[in-house]
């Protein structure tokens, strides 16, 4: 169990990279730290590994603070984006290396036996005699992960481990990483800025922005129940439809059209929605283009095919609404009446907090 408690990090130049970050990771879970560039993901990993010292808060492994524990004594495996393999050593020598130095130091024959066991697990046995320079990016990353695992760490930290790989390989290696982590039963924290990667690989996701945790939840929860406007905008592809609205006289005013506030499901209201300005958000699969019966008539000006589905883009007086339909419903330059599924929509106040 990893407990991060009110962690703060202010760098020497006065920049605050993390503010009161708290979360817990259960033993054996694979958790993703997700967020835009610069939000503090790598800083958290470096603090957990002991490569940085926090300016406040605590980091506990199984209930005991490790703040004063040296990095080498935290029993952590770290896998970086750039692999960091030794170029003059073979794959086998690279994997064995941590077992031949420092606290893991053991006889060469024993180290080789353990290295070969793990190389079997990560499917790199046949690369044993090769030098890193002759391997593909995916193979190098597998070697780096194997080298981290042979040390039998309690915790595996992976900092954007797939970002140097091409799209197809990323898909394969991320499935492999999940399988491995589960097979070895290790607790893993995986940093990525790619929401799809995080959604597919994680048991839970910590979504960060500007050094602050926005939501820590199951992947599907982030999508279905975003805590705030940042989360709603960050998670989901295509990006969620957002519209500025004002509420007055029991009506939601979208500019070109109005919808009674009573269209919203009472039980989903987080607070009373009083008169004022809000952001209305609805995912494109919750907007259905029909012949009639919708909240507004709009013309579709573009469509984008995404595999078996198609995104229709509707536009009217600057208001853009996207709707996902199946390929056989792909149309262009036709007017449709847009039906909103209000029971799946969200409303955020001006501070970005969710009120519905
Ligand atoms: P990326 O996805 O781009 O790697 P990240 O979420 O991992 O980003 P961090 O590397 O944790 O972000 O950095 C968080 C913030 O702290 C950034 O704004 C960065 O510029 C700043 N920062 C990082 N290291 C230092 C440092 N040594 N001194 C001052 N500021 C720093």
pLDDT digit string (tens) for 56-110? 999 999 999 999 999 989 999 999 887 789 999 999 999 999 999 887 889 999 9
Spatial separation of the C-alpha atoms in residues 203 and 198, rounded to whole Å: 9
Of ligand 1's listed atoms, the one at least distance from the Cα of 35 is 6
Q: Among 9, 41, 207, which is best to mutate for testing ligand 1, by the most ligand atoms less than 8 A from CB? A: 41
- Ligand 1 contact via 39 beta carbon (within 6 Å): yes
Reply yes or no on whether the pLDDT at 15 is more than 90: yes
> Which tokens in the block code for residue 340?
């909103």
Minimum CA distance residue for ligand 1 atom 5? 38
- For the chain, what percent of residues have pLDDT higher than 90? 84
Do residues 87 and 131 make contact, with C-beta atoms less than 8 angstroms apart? yes
Q: Which residues contact 264 (CB under 8 A, 6 or more apart)?
A: 273, 342, 345, 347, 356
- Ligand 1 contact via 14 beta carbon (within 6 Å): no
- Quote the mean pLDDT of the chain: 94
Of ligand 1's listed atoms, the one at least distance from the Cα of 44 is 11
Reply yes or no on whether the pLDDT at 240 is more than 90: yes
Predicted pLDDT at 172: 85
Domains of the chain by range and CATH?
Answer: 2-234 (3.40.50.300), 241-348 (no CATH)
DSSP sequence for 167-200: HHHHHHHHHHHHHHHHHHT-EEEEEES-HHHHHH
Partners of 127 in the beta sheet?
none
What phi and psi values does residue 129 have, to the nearest 5 degrees?
-90, 0
**Residue 227 CB coordination number (10 Å):** 18
Partners of 248 in the beta sheet?
251
Spatial separation of the C-alpha atoms in residues 199 and 205, rounded to whole Å: 8
Do residues 205 and 198 make contact, with C-beta atoms less than 8 angstroms apart? yes
pLDDT digit string (tens) for 202-229? 999 999 999 999 999 999 999 999 999 9
Rounded distance from Cα 275 to ligand 1 centre (Å) = 40
Do residues 2 and 155 make contact, with C-beta atoms less than 8 angstroms apart? yes
Binning pLDDT at 50, 70 and 90, where does residue 165 land?
confident
DSSP sequence for 230-263: HHHHHSSSSPPEEEEEEEETTEEE-SS-EEEGGG
- Output DSSP code: residue 91: H
Spatial separation of the C-alpha atoms in residues 234 and 349, rounded to whole Å: 17
Predicted pLDDT at 113: 96
Give the burial class of 338: count Cβ atoms within 10 A of its Cβ; 0-12 exposed, 13-18 middle, 19 or more buried: buried
pLDDT digit string (tens) for 248-305? 999 999 998 999 999 999 999 999 999 999 999 999 999 999 999 999 999 998 889 9
In the chain, at which residue ranges do the beta strands (DSSP E only) sit? 2-10, 16-25, 30-34, 56-61, 64-65, 76-79, 155-159, 187-192, 204-209, 212-217, 241-248, 251-253, 258-260, 276-282, 287-290, 296-306, 309-316, 319-326, 335-340, 346-348
Task: Give the CA angle between residues 346, 349, 352 to the nearest 5°.
Answer: 85
Predicted pLDDT at 123: 87
Tally of CA atoms within 13 A in the half-sphere of 310 that contains its CB? 17
Rounded distance from Cα 47 to ligand 1 centre (Å) = 12
- Ligand 1 contact via 37 beta carbon (within 6 Å): yes
pTM of the model: 0.92
pLDDT digit string (tens) for 42-58? 999 999 999 999 999 99
- Ligand 1 contact via 17 beta carbon (within 6 Å): yes
Ramachandran region, residue 67 (left: φ > 0; alpha: ψ -120 to 50; beta: rest):
alpha
Spatial separation of the C-alpha atoms in residues 188 and 18, rounded to whole Å: 20
Tally of CA atoms within 13 A in the half-sphere of 223 that contains its CB? 17
Reply yes or no on whether the pLDDT at 164 is more than 90: no
Predicted pLDDT at 154: 94
Minimum CA distance residue for ligand 1 atom 16? 17
- Ligand 1 contact via 9 beta carbon (within 6 Å): no
User: Average pLDDT in the 177-189 region?
Assistant: 92
């Amino acid at each position: 169990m990893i407990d991060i408690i009110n962690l703060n990090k202010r760098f020497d130049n006065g920049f605050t990279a993390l503010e009161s970050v708290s979360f817990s990771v259960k033993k054996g879970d694979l958790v993703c730290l997700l967020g835009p560039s610069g939000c503090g993901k790598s800083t958290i990993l470096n603090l957990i590994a002991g490569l940085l010292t926090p300016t406040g808060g605590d980091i506990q492994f199984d209930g005991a603070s490790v703040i004063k524990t040296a990095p080498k004594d935290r029993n952590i495996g770290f896998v970086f984006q750039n692999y960091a393999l030794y170029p003059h050593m073979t794959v086998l020598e690279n994997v064995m290396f941590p077992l031949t130095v420092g606290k893991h130091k053991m006889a060469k024959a024993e180290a080789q036996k353990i290295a070969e066991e793990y190389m079997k697990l990560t499917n790199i046995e046949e690369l044993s005699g090769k030098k890193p320079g002759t391997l593909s990016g995916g193979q190098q990353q597998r070697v780096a992960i194997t080298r981290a695992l042979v040390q039998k760490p309690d915790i595996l930290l992976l900092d954007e481990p797939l970002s140097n790989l091409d799209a197809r390989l990323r898909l394969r290696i991320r499935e492999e990483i999940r399988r491995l982590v589960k097979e070895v039963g290790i607790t893993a924290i995986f940093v990525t800025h790619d929401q799809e990667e995080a959604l597919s690989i994680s048991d839970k996701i910590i979504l960060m922005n500007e050094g602050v945790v926005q939501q820590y939840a199951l992947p599907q929860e982030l999508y279905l129940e975003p805590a705030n406007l940042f989360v709603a905008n960050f998670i989901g592809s295509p990006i969620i439809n957002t519209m500025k609205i004002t509420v007055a006289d029991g009506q939601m005013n979208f500019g070109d059209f109005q919808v009674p506030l009573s269209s919203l499901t009472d039980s989903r209201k987080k607070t009373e929605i009083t008169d004022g300005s809000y952001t209305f958000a609805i995912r494109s699969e919750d907007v259905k283009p029909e012949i009639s019966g919708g909240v507004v008539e709009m013309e579709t000006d573009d469509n984008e095919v995404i595999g078996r589905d198609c995104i229709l883009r509707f536009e009217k007086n600057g208001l853009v609404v996207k709707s996902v339909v199946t390929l056989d419903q792909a149309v262009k330059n036709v007017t449709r009446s847009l039906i909103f599924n209000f029971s799946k929509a969200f409303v955020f106040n001006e501070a970005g907090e969710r009120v519905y």
